[in-house]
Amino acid sequence: MERLRSLHYIDDEAFARNWALARTQKRGDGPKKIEQELRAKGIDQSVTREVIRETFRQVDETENARKLLQKRYHKSNFDDPEMIQRAASFLQNRGYSGKTISELLHCPVEED
């Protein structure tokens, strides 16, 4: 195992960085969802938190969420309370914070 680590074949931190960046850029996932996935893969909590911090310094969380909304609800009217609730649930499921959702949809959202 030490030999594999010394050859950088086993590197949880590098794996977590690559995973987080790919999930953010390609799928538009938010920090909570990425953190949950990395923890499920057995990545240490301290590594996971650091990777999430680094990733979302490079990527604008609000802009990613806005792009997801445009892609999913491209011609929807967010004046309808039911549509706002549907969009908020969608973003929560994708791992975005209540603060980010509130900023985009102009409605209060409870944190998990």
The residues spanned by each domain of the chain are 2-58, 61-105
Residues in the chain: 112
pLDDT tens-digit map of 76-88? 777 888 889 999 9
The candidate with the shortest Cα–Cα distance to 17, out of 48, 62, 60, is 48
> What CA–CA distance (Å, rounded) separates 34 from 79?
30
Task: Identify the pLDDT of residue 8.
Answer: 63
101 close to 91: Cβ distance less than 8 angstroms: yes
Q: Which CATH number fits domain 61-105: 3.40.1390, 1.10.10, 3.15.10, 3.40.30?
A: 1.10.10
pLDDT tens-digit map of 5-25? 676 667 888 889 999 999 999
The candidate with the shortest Cα–Cα distance to 47, out of 95, 13, 9, 11, is 13
- The rounded mean pLDDT for the chain is 88
| 2-58 shares its CATH topology with 61-105 | yes
* Least confident range of 5-14, 37-46, 63-72: 5-14
CATH T-level topology, domain 2-58: Arc Repressor Mutant, subunit A (1.10.10)
